[in-house]
Amino acid sequence: MVPFAGWSMPIQYKDTIMDSTLNCRSNGSLFDVSHMCGLSLTGSQAIPFLESLVVADVAALKDGTGTLTVFTNDRGGAIDDSVVTKVTDKHVYLVVNAGCRDKDLAHIGAHMEAFNKKGGDVKWHVHDERSLLALQGPLAAPTLQLLTKEDLSKMYFSDFKMIDINGYACFLTRTGYTGEDGFEISVPSENAVDLAKALLEKSEGKVRLTGLGARDSLRLEAGLCLYGNDMEQHITPVEAGLSWAIGKRRKAEGGFLGADVILKQLQEGPKIRRVGLISQGPPPRSHSEIVSNSGENIGEVTSGGFSPCLKKNIAMGYVKSGLHKAGTEFKVVVRGKSYDAVVTKMPFVPTKYYKPS
């Protein structure tokens, strides 16, 4: 167990990180992600308010669907990334990072107060009465289907529903942080243990409790950013390779914090870019230096490790624009020695999101 953002969290349960990672991709994993912060914004102006703080076109989302988005600061840097769901015209549900909770709530709260003072109509509720479970992997849907009457085959990636699971009133989102098909289940805290037991039992032991260690390997293999490593206050969504998350209308209109910086970068191209890389030698870790073949500093690794699925070192980091194309070769420095590395398209392991065919 390790302390993490004020919580006590398991790095791993009984299985090793290697076994847990492989089992998630072949069977399934259950993660306790209750440390993450669920938040509802309600009111007739919940969506215009949220759009003033994030890059997504929330208004254009169909009811009951969501997207990944980024909260920006006035310099265009990322305050946090978040999955945001438009429940209805008057209700958005979002999940923000545990490590950013205090900062995010202070940021949203201050802007909401100012917004409401000018006659806005937004209220919020932090879902501290709920726990969050992530069920991921090929057995996620068949296992969950045994506990609900809702037809899960009609629910696609990023869809959201408020439904009964095992008799508990849950918020269900078809999303995750592993690259696999799966769900995040917000469940009343008093039912969380029973739901976890039921899910593990219904899978006949194939879905395993999985800790933070494998969660990090899985998201890295899927090419997903970890806020605090791969995204920071000074990194814009464009630099982070998340321009796709900026809605078309938002690209035209702006209207979010730091829009001037971000829209300019969209036009001119960013100076640095997030890339995936595969390297030889020991696995690079965050802060490993990236140098050109002639030894000149060109960037830094932000996350890295050994991929349990590929049996290779994988990493992501930032390099100067122009050196970001797949196949570009350079070196990463680990404990003073340089090792060959090559820019590799992400995800490293193909993602398996459940989308309409």
From residue 34, alpha-carbon distances to 127, 207, 288 in Å are: 10, 18, 31
Give yes or no for residue 11 binding other proteins (CB under 8 A): yes
Euclidean distance between the first and final Cα of the chain, in Å? 41
CB of 283 to other proteins, least distance (A): 6
Q: Which residue has the tokens 């299985």?
A: 15
- Does 232 count as an annotated binding residue? no
What is the full DSSP assignment across 119-162?
A: T---EEEE-TTEEEEEEESTTHHHHHHTT-SS-GGG--TTBEEE
Longest Cα–Cα distance in the chain: 63
Strands 297-307 and 289-291: antiparallel
Binding-site string for other proteins from residue 291 to residue 310, where x marks contact by CB under 8 A and - marks none: --------------xx-x--
The β-bridge partners of 7 are: 4
Residue 27 as a binder of other proteins (CB under 8 A): the answer is no
> What is the Cα–Cα distance from 192 to 263, expressed in whole angstroms?
43
60 binding other proteins? (CB under 8 A) = no
CB of 35 vs other proteins, minimal distance in Å: 7
Size, binding site for other proteins by CB under 8 A = 36
**Residue of the chain from 110, 162, 193, 326 that contacts other proteins (CB under 8 A):** 193
Report in angstroms how near the CB of residue 353 gets to other proteins at its nearest. Answer: 24
Residue type (1 letter), 115: F
Binding mask 120-139 for other proteins (x = CB under 8 A): -----------x--------
Of 50, 200, 224, 319, the one binding other proteins by CB under 8 A: 200
Query: Smallest distance, Å, CB 3 to other proteins?
Result: 10
| Range 310-339, binding other proteins (CB under 8 A) | 335
Contact pick of 34, 158, 173, 236 for other proteins (by CB under 8 A): 34
Closest CA to 323 of 259, 271, 279: 271
Is 179 near other proteins (CB under 8 A)? no
Helix residue spans in 118-166 (DSSP H): 140-145
Helices first, then strands: H and E counts in the chain: 8, 19
* Cα 243 from Cα 263, distance rounded (Å): 10
> Does position 112 bind other proteins by CB under 8 A?
no
Residues binding other proteins (CB under 8 A): 1, 6-14, 16-18, 21, 32, 34-35, 131, 189, 192-193, 196-197, 200, 209, 213, 216-217, 281-283, 285, 305-306, 308, 335
Q: Which residues are annotated as a binding site for substrate?
A: 184
Q: Which residues are annotated as a binding site?
A: 184
